[in-house]
Structure 1
Amino acid sequence: MLRWLLIVVLALLLFQGLRPWLERMGLGRLPGDVRFRLRGREVWLPLGTTVALSLIAALIGHLI
């Protein structure tokens, strides 16, 4: 369980860093993606984008 939690946190941090690039591709505005301001800082939790990219990766992995 701890391993999965660590993987999810690392994936969210990776998506946070790739946010500008992902937004140009249209990702980041899916249902389930959460944005809010916390103490003057914008926080972005790409939950919907994470699920979509995971499904795409799983399909590619299954085909290979």
Structure 2
Amino acid sequence: MPLNSETGKYIIAAGLVIVLAGLIIYFFGGRLNWIGRLPGDIRVERENFNFYFPLTTLLLINLIIFLLIRIWRWIN
């Protein structure tokens, strides 16, 4: 992929998303402790074994990202 102004826009957008996520976690981290503990998240805890797979959380994040991409494409 050649480096041009379009590539720069994508890199800036990715950076802004990362900064926004960091700010949300920094300021609202205490209120977001339900993320990863949704019904449907798989958790197995044994004496010497812990397994955790946040299935519902992953589906929710996937849906949000999908909707944001669709809105982004609709705007452009």
TM-score where L is the length of structure 2: 0.47
- Where relative contact order (Cα < 8 A, 6+ residues apart) is larger, the structure is 1
Which position in structure 2 is the counterpart of 1:62?
70
* 1:2-48: CA deviation from partner (whole Å, max 9, x where unpaired): xxxxxxxxxxxxxxxxxxx7x85221111110111256132101100
Identity %: 30
TM-score where L is the length of structure 1: 0.55
Question: Aligned to 1:45, which of 53, 60, 66?
Answer: 53
Where does the alignment leave 5 or more consecutive residues of structure 1 unmatched? 1-20
- Return the structure number with greater strand share: 1
* Secondary structure of the structure 1 residue equivalent to 2:43: strand
Runs of 4+ in structure 1 over 6 Å off: none
Where does the alignment leave 5 or more consecutive residues of structure 2 unmatched? 1-24
Query: Please, what is the CA RMSD of the aligned residues?
Result: 2.2
